[in-house]
Copies of this chain bind each other. A is one copy, B any other.
Amino acid sequence: MAVTLNDIARKAGVSLATVSLALNDSNKVNKDTKIRIKEIADELNYVPNARARALVKKSTKTIGLVIPEVVNPFFAELAQAIKDYVRSQDFNVILCSTDYQSEEELRYINMFRSGQVDGAIFACVGDMMAQHNDLIIKLVEENIPVIYVDRDGVDHDLIPVVKSDVYHAAYQAADYLISLGHRELAFAGQSVERLNGFKSALMKHGLELKEENIYYDYLRMEGGYTVGEKIAARDNKPEAVVCLNDEMAIGVIQALIAEKVKVPEDISVVGIDNIKMANFYNPSLTTVNIPVSQMGDKAAEILLKRIAGETLSPKEKFFIFPTELVIRDSSRKA
């Protein structure tokens, strides 16, 4: 059916090997024959068979990207950045979203072991599911390089990590709210690291964190909405809320507004991530920027280097991106 090297060889009256060499621009083959072979290949509309090539080259020019879901602006942006980067080096991305299911991650790991990818990026929210660090290490030992994005728990020599400083992000958010004069702060979301950053800001200013002001909930808009409802129902409402991410913050705000609690007049709400919608929401969202595209670029860059067999400098094995407070309209002075 499809045109193969053999077809070209026959037509050109040379051996299959010569054709292969010619099409790969080897300097071992005569200039004129090379041209002739290339012409014939063009004429027959030849495309090399990626499956056969993958087998012998032991490479598929494909990487796996493990994220919880694409329907999530943060991960969508990450995916976009990574895809753009690797594509510039002729790699492709297999979209591996786990929907926060631990077993799905497992299935992907096995798929990776089968040699369907040359490497993988794991960008799951670590807190949320059972870890498979041991299996992922095995993957690396079988020579399938892995990079972690915003995930930790393994020796960086084996698995480089690209992070944002989310601890600091939460700290910045809380610190900023306190500087506005707010004293009763709430936190929404489930992330140990962010919660710790939040706590440390309170501590620095000698504020105590009441248990009732910590809301564990699903990290999307729906989860935020639930939190917002709960807050609106309280008599002694917190003055300000720091949310795990912008989506939650939007959910919180939407619920508060629905319950006639004004943002920012009654309560200030701050997110983390700085997704595009933060700027278009109404009120526009005060948040802490996480340079997710840059993180994606970096992760992709490092992964491709590993795949190419390059050794990484220690600095490249643990890369942490700074975060930045972005003040908009969802927060105001106490």
Contact = CB atoms under 8 A, between A and B. Distances in A.
Contacts of A73: 71, 73
Given A55-B51, A280-B254, A71 B77 contact: yes
9 contacts: A47-B110, A48-B114, A50-B116, A69-B80, A70-B80, A71-B76, A80-B97, A92-B95, A277-B277
Interface string A268-295: 0000000011001111100000000000
Nearest to A93: B95
Contacts of A225: 280
Interface residues of A, number: 54
Given A49-B114, A49-B115, A280-B250, A2 B142 contact: yes
Given A48-B114, A51-B51, A70-B83, 12 more contacts: A49-B55, A50-B114, A51-B115, A54-B54, A55-B55, A62-B94, A62-B116, A92-B94, A95-B95, A221-B276, A251-B280, A282-B283
Given A1-B142, A114-B49, A221 B280 contact: yes
Task: Give the most central of A2, A49, A51, A284: most B CB within 10 Å.
Answer: A51
B280 A51 contact: no
Interface of A: 1-2, 47-52, 54-55, 58, 60, 62, 65, 69-73, 76-77, 79-80, 83-84, 92-97, 99, 110-111, 113-116, 142-143, 221, 225, 250-251, 253-254, 257, 276-277, 280-284
A260 to B, nearest CB: 13
Contacts of A95: 65, 79, 83, 92-95
Contacts of A257: 282
A62 B99 CA distance: 19
Contact of A253 (B60, B282, B284): B282
A251 B143 CA distance: 47
A95 B64 CA distance: 10
Contacts of A65: 95
Nearest to A108: B92
A92 B49 CA distance: 19
A113 B83 contact: no
Contacts of A281: 254, 281-282
Contacts of A277: 221, 250, 277
Contacts of A276: 71, 221
B80 A1 contact: no
